[in-house]
Amino acid sequence: MRIVLLGAPGAGKGTVSKLITAKNGAVQISTGDMLRKEMKDGSALGRKAEDYIKRGDLVPDGVILDMMKERLQQPDCSTGFILDGFPRTIPQAEALTALFEALEIELDGAVDIDVPRDVLMGRLTSRRTCSNGACQAIYNVISNPTKDGVHCDKCGSPVVQREDETEEAISHRLATYDEKTLPLIEFYSAQKLLIKINGNQNPEKVFDELMRSLKK
Ligand code: AMP
C-alpha cells in the first residue's frame, strides 16, 4: 500500500496510520514526528524547524523535501508506506509526484480524512503526546487517557500538551491548513487519486472505510 493521508490537524491521520501499520505492515512516515524527533535531538534540522512548529507555521518546503527525498529511498519503504502529514503544499505535492516518477513508484490514493471543524478543535485541545521522541504515543484526556493520567502506558515517559496544541496555535494551524493544504484536494482529485473518508467515527471504522475504498 502506498498512500498519502490528507486531512486537517486532529483528523486522526496518526491514529489511522498506526492501525494500518499494525494490520497491513506499510510503514508510517510522519513528517511531524520526524521533525519533533530532530528538535528533541537538537540537530541542525531540528533547530531550523523549531520556531515554525511552535508558531503553528509550516516548515519551508525545501527543508521538508530534502528530508523526505532521503526518507522515501530507505529500504523499509519498499514494502509500502503511509505519508502522514506530507505533502502539505502544492510545491511539495508537485515535487513528490516528480520523485515518484523518478523512483517508479505508483501511488494508490490520496486519502482525505474529513472531520467537522468544531470536532477538530475539541480533539486537539484535549490531546496529550508522549514526551519521548522515539515513542510519541498519542492520548486524549477525555476519550483515551493514560492509565495514571500522567505517564505514557507504553514507555513510562511523561505525557505533555504539545506547544503547538494551545488554542491559539491550533487556530493558526487550521488557518494554515485551509490556505496551504486544502488546495491538495483539487490537485489529487484532478489526478483521480482522491479518496474521501468520514473521519468523525471511531478509528477502527475509519480504517475499515479506508481499506474498502482502496479495494474499489
Ligand atoms: P503534525 O504533527 O503533522 O501536525 O506536524 C506538526 C508541525 O510540523 C506542523 O504544524 C508544521 O509546523 C510541521 N510540519 C509537519 N509536516 C510538514 C510538512 N509536510 N510541511 C511543512 N511543515 C510540516
- The 10s digit of each residue's pLDDT in 31-50 is 999 999 999 899 999 999 99
> Which of 111, 115, 46, 104 is closest to 72 using CA atoms?
104
Query: Domains of the chain: which residue ranges?
Result: 2-26+80-215
Those residues with Cβ within 8 angstroms of residue 30's Cβ, 6 or more apart along the chain or in another chain: 13, 14, 17, 84, 85
Beta pairing, strands 109-114 & 27-30: unpaired
- Pairwise pLDDT comparison (154 vs 169), residue with the higher score: 154
Helix axes 31-41, 61-71, angle to 10 degrees: 100
> Residue 115: what residue type?
V
CB atoms within 10 A of CB 79: 12
Tell me the pLDDT tens digit for each residue of 158-203: 999 988 888 888 888 999 999 999 999 999 999 999 999 999 999 9
pLDDT of residue 31: 96
| Ligand 1 center from residue 52 Cα (angstroms) | 9
Considering the domain delimited by 2-26+80-215, tell me its CATH architecture.
Answer: 3-Layer(aba) Sandwich (3.40)
pLDDT of residue 143: 86
Using CB distances shorter than 6 Å, the residues near ligand 1 are 9, 31-32, 35, 52-53, 56-59, 64, 85-86, 88, 92, 164, 173
d(CA 215, CA 183): 25
d(CA 7, CA 115): 8
Give the residue whose CA is nearest to atom 11 of ligand 1. Answer: 58
Q: Nearest 5°: CA angle at 78, between 100 and 35?
A: 75
| Nine-digit cell string for 107 | 501511488
Q: What is the 3-state secondary structure (H, E, C) of 2-27?
A: EEEEECCCCCCHHHHHHHHHHHHCCE
**Are the C-beta atoms of 197 and 114 separated by less than 8 Å?**
yes
Average confidence (pLDDT) over 111-128? 92
